[in-house]
Structure 1
Amino acid sequence: MSAPRPPKVAGIDSTVPAPPHTAAPLTGVPSAASPSDAALPPGVLIQDRLASWVSDLTTLHELTERLIKTDSLDEALREVLGAGAALVGARRGMAVLEPADGLGPTSTIGLGLAHADLGTIETVPRGSGSYGRLLDGLPEAGPAPSSARPAHVPEPIAIRDVRTEEGLDPRHREVAARLGYAASYALPLATEEAGRLGAAVWLYDEPAEPDERRRHLIGLYGRFATEHLARLLQVERARVRVATVAEELLPSRLPRVPGVRLAVRHRTGPQGGGDWYDALPLPEGALGLAVGSVSGTGPSALAAMGRLRASLRAYAVMEGEDPVAVLSDLELLLRLTEPARSATALFAYAEPAQRRIVLAGAGHAPPLVVGDHRTEFVETSLSAPLGMLTCWEAPSVELSPAPGETVLLYTDGLLRRTGEATDRAFARLHAAAASVPVADRSDPGAVADHVLRTLLPQGIDPAVEGEDVVLLAARFD
């Protein structure tokens, strides 16, 4: 009579022998059972299996918790590579993001591989490399996919020994020998809902492949990772679309007007704010400069910004010599067409030949003059934003920049990105402008770059939530 067999328990069978690995076993995953386990009572085996199941669930929970904290595609791919290496018992790996719809973005991330190593791996014909076969949707040779996996999601591909595997391209064996790996395990980053987003492959230093238990773990993790990557992909594509629309609504290039040189630095936040700028040549060698900000974010704010900027250009051509009249017309248009929206704006009518500027602002931050002998804000009168009062009006201000001085026009986003209180942010902006090296003051672009680096030393990551930033620099000869 055969020995009684313990009943099956949901979870992962810890009695399956583990293959040789080239990295330390995954923390929290029980080791293979010893032959003496066969003599243990059935109840003890059930408890061991339950403990193994709980341990695996805990491990997956910890790894997925770490994954969901990532907020960019490259960061998520690095986390997937590190977690997958621990789950399958490998030391090196590569993840490729290549959405099947062809809309991008694409990316290749390595774990324990230099940039040159990644390039070497990419020289292997795609039909021979395991990750390439997954990206191209080629089915794995061998048993048919299980019914639990969607038909259009390819199976993982395990190459236990690159030297003896049949059907491999000679270039594949050559690259494996050069980089010192002997086996690989490739997992599709794909689900039925998200489609095929990419693939990840882990490399072993010795002939090996993950056992059934580890395959099950990495499969569960891979499906969760794919859904997370799909969400990040949607966010990234939306951010790119918003940034593209915002850039298309703004000038594609700055005009060239004798007596003045222009430079601009502009960044749009991920939700798409309404900050804008403009520079347009006017009759008799004059130049119109404008910056502004529309309340709100997203597509509606971008559309409102485009309408306001286009209208301001028309008003500037008709009556640009009077900045107050330009902003009054703009305020009337905003109040009649978009009564629920407000906006700040600053318009300057410049005559470079005479080095004369007449400007007016509506709830906007004052310009900053930077030169060898002074760094000071232009004293403008306090005024309400457009759309806030029944009738907007404020006096204009005239100034005469000296030869070699640069006038900086900017939006409130530049101040708010500092995270400081308003008065503190103004002080920091003044200090940043005053510290521009003398050698850089002849180049308005260098002046703008120095101010941004000093004011925002961490830079402006377009994927990070925050205000739009506009900095328009005009240097007068």
Structure 2
Amino acid sequence: MLDIPPPVRVHVDALPAAQNDMGVCDAIARNVPVGKPTAMSAPHLPKVAGIDSTVPSPAHTAAPTTPTSPSAAHLPGIPGALIQDHLAAWVSDLTTLHELTERLVTTGSLDEALREVLRAGAALVGARRGMAVLEPADGLGPTSTVGLGLAHAELGTIETVPRSATSYGRILDGLPDPLAVPDPIAVPDLLGQAELDPRHREVAARLGYAASYALPLATEAAGRLGAVVWLYDEPAEPVERQRHLIGLYGRYATEHLARLLELERARVQVATVAEELLPSRLPRVPGVQLAARHHTGPQGGGDWYDALPLPEGALGLAVGSVSGTGPSALAAMGRLRASLRAYAVMEGEDPVAVLSDLELLLRLTEPARSATALFAYSEPKQRKLVLAGAGHTPPLIVGDHRTEFVETSLSAPLGMLACWEAPSIEIAPAPGETVLLYTDGLLRRTGDPMDRAFARLHAAAAGVPKADRTDPGAIADHVLRTLLPEGLDHAVDGEDVVLLAARFE
């Protein structure tokens, strides 16, 4: 990672023995012979901060010079002191870069990584504020703008400046080749430029910055992903040593951002496929209101729901979960849902027959996969539901006078049955009551044991405000907020969450 040219190499004969009682630099200073340090080599220098010290020294450090004072030329401590200072600066730079890159690799999202790059870069170049723009040159997105020491309104103000007049804009738009790596752009005295765009001058004066240093987030392997610009309160620019360090850090940061970008795009694609496999809209059936909430984990799970109108004003409601994650689980979920829809149209009034056919299909076509499912045949005008489940969590009835789980018969999941084991049951919701169907991902996301998760779900449903009980969507949202107060972080691996609420009028 560190490409550092070599001005000094040191040969130390007694270094291993001396290291037992003193530091590395002290051992070198006491044992190095006076003479021509540039002609010597050190093949066995120790590793520092996890980085191989045999990498040549940085280009921004000056090579040892010959003392100009005749008296100093005869002092035996002068060459050793120069080498010690040289190595101390080198070790400090390596340690700093190591600490900053260690902090960067702990970030798990693009915005979090951009903020860390801004913070680390500000420390390296000596700035107080900055802005990072993620804008991949391939045009496939995503795009993002984050700031350091700048409020959202101030970021918007900077974006009113024509891009061609800004240093980060010239980096993003200046080269036609998306794989080209542009050079950093330093503007040491922004307001002193006679040709400065008037709008840029106005914004700089309003926000109080007088200089900038822009760094491309680009490498030959990753292409051009964006740019970072740091803003100085007074006319200034990074010295050569600072430019060298921020250049090394920027190349590493770009590779890390490229990996996060690939993961984010894959997550979006998986979520898009999952959404396309689910109903694009819920049907409108007299006598019942429907609402659904579906959140897919970053790897793409197999949780699903369905609501389909059936003959004679009936309605089929289903939720289920397929084992596994990723594209194969999504494909299996799509096949299972399509099959259930077909069986529901043919024999939906008998949920046991629907799930029995689904069990046989799964066992014959995908013997290595299991699934859970719950299917309910509803006649909204009569407020009657007949339902059956296979290894699935029980529905929850939410109303003004009761909040209780439906006692369904126990059954093994689909794919694990020798024959059908659980009969169907019939329930009759009162007017204004809501039946909540859900997958076990909602319970597992809480992180609690299952018995406590069920108790928390019951308490969340019982605590729905009275004003929200007329809206099934509001009920589902309240349950989600109560069970998962920190929300669903799509960057964190976790179970899919599905809620399907049916309120009977």
Q: Return the alpha-carbon distance in structure 1 between the equivalents of residues 116 and 36 of structure 2.
A: 40
Aligned to 2:79: 42
Q: Return the alpha-carbon distance in structure 2 between the equivalents of residues 443 and 93 of structure 1.
A: 45
Aligned to 2:337: 309
Map of 1:439-458 to 2, 5 A cutoff? 439-458=467-486
Paired AA for residue 68 in structure 1:
V
- 3-state DSSP class of the match of 2:289? strand
Q: Choose from 109, 130, 147 the match for 1:110.
A: 147
1:6 Cα deviation after fit: 6.7
Q: Choose from 326, 340, 360 the match for 2:354.
A: 326
Paired AA for residue 299 in structure 2:
Q
Aligned to 1:10: 57
On the 8 A contact 1:276/1:305 being kept in 2, the answer is yes
Percent of aligned pairs sharing the same letter: 84
Structure 1: state its 5+ residue gaps. Answer: 17-34, 140-149
Q: Return the alpha-carbon distance in structure 2 between the equivalents of residues 68 and 54 of structure 1.
A: 21
1:343 Cα deviation after fit: 0.4
How far does the alpha carbon of each residue in 1:383-420 deviate from its partner, in whole angstroms, 9 at most, with x for none? 01000123334200000000111000000100101111
Question: More relative contact order in 1 or in 2 (CA 8 Å, sep 6+)?
Answer: 1
Map of 1:66-465 to 2, 5 A cutoff? 66-138=103-175, 152-165=180-193, 167-465=195-493
Aligned to 1:21: none
On the 8 A contact 1:13/1:49 being kept in 2, the answer is no
Q: Return the alpha-carbon distance in structure 2 between the equivalents of residues 362 and 103 of structure 1.
A: 42
Q: Return the alpha-carbon distance in structure 2 between the equivalents of residues 262 and 324 of structure 1.
A: 23
Aligned to 2:53: none
- 3-state DSSP class of the match of 1:52? helix
How far does the alpha carbon of each residue in 1:313-363 deviate from its partner, in whole angstroms, 9 at most, with x for none? 111010000000000111111111111100000000000100100000000
1:167 Cα deviation after fit: 4.5
Q: Return the alpha-carbon distance in structure 2 between the equivalents of residues 73 and 349 of structure 1.
A: 45
1:308 Cα deviation after fit: 0.6
Q: Return the alpha-carbon distance in structure 2 between the equivalents of residues 137 and 59 of structure 1.
A: 32
Paired AA for residue 389 in structure 2:
G
1:12 Cα deviation after fit: 5.1
TM-score, length of structure 2 as denominator length: 0.85
Q: Return the alpha-carbon distance in structure 1 between the equivalents of residues 79 and 60 of structure 2.
A: 14
Q: Return the alpha-carbon distance in structure 2 between the equivalents of residues 84 and 132 of structure 1.
A: 19
Aligned to 1:57: 94
Q: Return the alpha-carbon distance in structure 1 between the equivalents of residues 435 and 417 of structure 2.
A: 29
Q: Return the alpha-carbon distance in structure 1 between the equivalents of residues 113 and 398 of structure 2.
A: 43
Structural RMSD (CA): 2.0
1:472 to 2:500 alignment: yes
On the 8 A contact 1:93/1:113 being kept in 2, the answer is yes
1:117 Cα deviation after fit: 1.2
On the 8 A contact 1:6/1:45 being kept in 2, the answer is no
Q: For the structure 1 residues 208 and 6, does the alpha-carbon distance in structure 2 shift closer, same or farther, using more than 3 Å as the test?
A: farther
On the 8 A contact 1:366/1:409 being kept in 2, the answer is yes
How far does the alpha carbon of each residue in 1:193-222 deviate from its partner, in whole angstroms, 9 at most, with x for none? 000000000001111110110000000000
On the 8 A contact 1:367/1:377 being kept in 2, the answer is yes
Paired AA for residue 491 in structure 2:
A
Paired AA for residue 84 in structure 1:
G
How far does the alpha carbon of each residue in 1:269-302 deviate from its partner, in whole angstroms, 9 at most, with x for none? 0000000000011111110000000000000000
Q: Return the alpha-carbon distance in structure 1 between the equivalents of residues 60 and 345 of structure 2.
A: 78
Paired AA for residue 268 in structure 1:
T
Q: How many pairs align?
A: 445
Structure 2: state its 5+ residue gaps. Answer: 1-34, 40-55
On the 8 A contact 2:359/2:417 being kept in 1, the answer is no
1:46 Cα deviation after fit: 1.4
Map of 1:26-37 to 2, 5 A cutoff? none
1:376 Cα deviation after fit: 0.8
- 3-state DSSP class of the match of 2:431? coil
Aligned to 1:28: none
- 3-state DSSP class of the match of 1:251? coil
Q: Return the alpha-carbon distance in structure 2 between the equivalents of residues 171 and 41 of structure 1.
A: 55
Q: Return the alpha-carbon distance in structure 1 between the equivalents of residues 435 and 208 of structure 2.
A: 59
TM-score, length of structure 1 as denominator length: 0.90
Q: Return the alpha-carbon distance in structure 1 between the equivalents of residues 191 and 485 of structure 2.
A: 51
Q: Return the alpha-carbon distance in structure 2 between the equivalents of residues 326 and 58 of structure 1.
A: 65
Pick the structure with greater CA Rg. Answer: 2
- 3-state DSSP class of the match of 2:163? coil
